[in-house]
Amino acid sequence: MTIAVFLGALMGAMALGIPIAFALLATGVALMVHLDMFDAQILAQNVINGADSFPLLAIPFFMLAGEIMNVGGLSQRIVNFALALVGHVKGGLGYVTILAAILLSALSGSAVADAAALTALLLPMMVRAGHDKARSGGLIAAAGVIGPVIPPSIGFVIFGVAANVSISKLFLAGIFPGILIGLALWITWMILVRKEKLVPPPRKSGQEMVRALFDASWALMLPVIILVGLRFGVFTPTEAAVVAAVYALFVSTVIYRELKARQLYAIFVTAAKTTAVVMFLIAAAMVSAWLITVADLPSKIAVLLEPFMGNQTLLLIAIMVLCMIVGTAMDMTPTILILTPVLMPIVKQAGIDPVYFGVLFIINNSIGLITPPVGTVLSTVAGVGRMKMDEVTRGVLPFMLAEFVILLLMVLFPQLVTVPAKWFIG
């Protein structure tokens, strides 16, 4: 009955068009009434405690860093560097998209921000080169999914706080899986582009490549600073976010000089608005998370999953399928906040490594960003690229399938995640 109240209240509120944060609060109230313990003071206290977390300070600073990078020229130089490396091969702009997505992922940690930047910079170039617009938009959307996987990742920050798992370990464990996703997209694009009759642009000279590398070197140094700092314990993930924002501001204003003082106010306002949305979601979700614990909902879910508890692989497949279904109707942040307190006790009971599970969980939720009908990244690419939603959806399908194959391989062969993670974490 408790599960029915929880799902009924949440789905009912969403069906009425209530914003997800308020739907979570309504769900919390419904659970409190069902448990006969309604107290407005408890409700308010959990909302405040939900946002009162030092690790969550990483979110506004990573948001700010991403905004500064897009306006300050760092993203453009990353794309130019990728163009110099692989722009000359057949379908080179697709490879540029994938390479640039991997590099941008190590700067911002936001799928939406990366997808918006790549769409604005590369989609017109791909269309002019003769690529199918729907397929090009689909590749950009699928490449944007790498953003929350390769550190720094806002998704890992939220999961780490909700699941009480080391964010630094999650960051370092996400490096190799993110590269694997990029490799899957590379192979898929290579197969698809063979059918297109295109004349690739001329190869850049060695001098032009060196110039592009030198021009992008300041931007490329940022992920190195963050990863080395995390690996050797120089700073925490929260401090890394501050370093990223300050570094991006310094490079944009002093080195590249593309960011003007008059633009700062708009950047700070945009970052603050985005942060406010995410933080209110987190605060509202903590009410439901607390009540999920009080109602002992995980044990009730565990009963449903009991047939799979004896086999970690089957249990993970069942959980991943559940996440896929939820991801089609819900955005990444609320999915993490709702499912984490439900699933983590089951994962721990089954003896699954929380860091390994966290990587799979975030990858699954990231792919959810390109699954219709919600698909936040699909909407971003369609909006920025002035395309119809169904066109982007058609173009993204082969790339989304490739990403699901990689996810399945990681479930079947945990070593793909755990072995590189042990090497990076040390």
In a domain, 404, yes or no: yes
How many whole angstroms separate alpha carbon 122 and alpha carbon 381? 11
How many whole angstroms separate alpha carbon 61 and alpha carbon 108? 10
Cβ-Cβ contacts under 8 Å for 276 (sequence gap 6 or more): none
In a domain, 94, yes or no: yes
Peptide bond into 373 cis (omega under 30): yes
The sign of the CA dihedral 250, 256, 262, 264 is negative
In a domain, 378, yes or no: yes
How many whole angstroms separate alpha carbon 168 and alpha carbon 242? 15
AA letter at 312: Q
Task: Find out whether 297 and 343 touch, Cβ atoms under 8 Å.
Answer: no
3-state helix, strand, coil in the chain (%, to 5): 80, 0, 20
Peptide bond into 148 cis (omega under 30): no
**What is the tally of structural domains in the chain?**
1
How many whole angstroms separate alpha carbon 172 and alpha carbon 240? 13
Q: Running DSSP on this structure, what letter comes out for residue 286?
A: H
Task: Classify 284 in phi/psi space as left (phi over 0), alpha (psi -120 to 50) or beta.
Answer: alpha
State which residues form the domain around 324.
Answer: 39-425
AA letter at 203: R
For the entire predicted model, the pTM comes to: 0.83
Instruction: Print pLDDT tens along the chain (426 aa).
Output: 666 777 777 778 777 877 777 887 888 788 788 777 777 777 788 778 777 777 778 888 888 888 888 788 888 888 888 888 877 777 888 888 898 888 888 777 678 778 888 888 888 888 887 888 999 999 999 998 898 898 888 889 989 988 889 998 999 999 999 999 999 999 999 998 887 777 677 788 888 888 988 988 998 888 888 888 887 878 888 888 888 889 999 999 999 888 888 999 999 998 888 888 888 877 887 777 777 777 766 666 767 777 777 788 999 998 999 888 887 767 788 888 888 888 888 888 888 999 999 999 999 999 988 887 667 788 888 888 888 888 888 999 999 999 999 999 999 999 999 999 988 876
The sign of the CA dihedral 116, 119, 120, 122 is positive
In a domain, 264, yes or no: yes
In a domain, 18, yes or no: no
In a domain, 14, yes or no: no
In a domain, 2, yes or no: no
In this predicted structure, what is the pLDDT of residue 40? 78
Burial class (CB in 10 A: 0-12, 13-18, 19+), 324: middle
In a domain, 319, yes or no: yes
DSSP SS3 for 387: coil
Task: Find out whether 101 and 114 touch, Cβ atoms under 8 Å.
Answer: yes
Q: How far is CA 253 from CA 32, 81, 225, 262, 264, in A?
A: 51, 20, 19, 11, 10
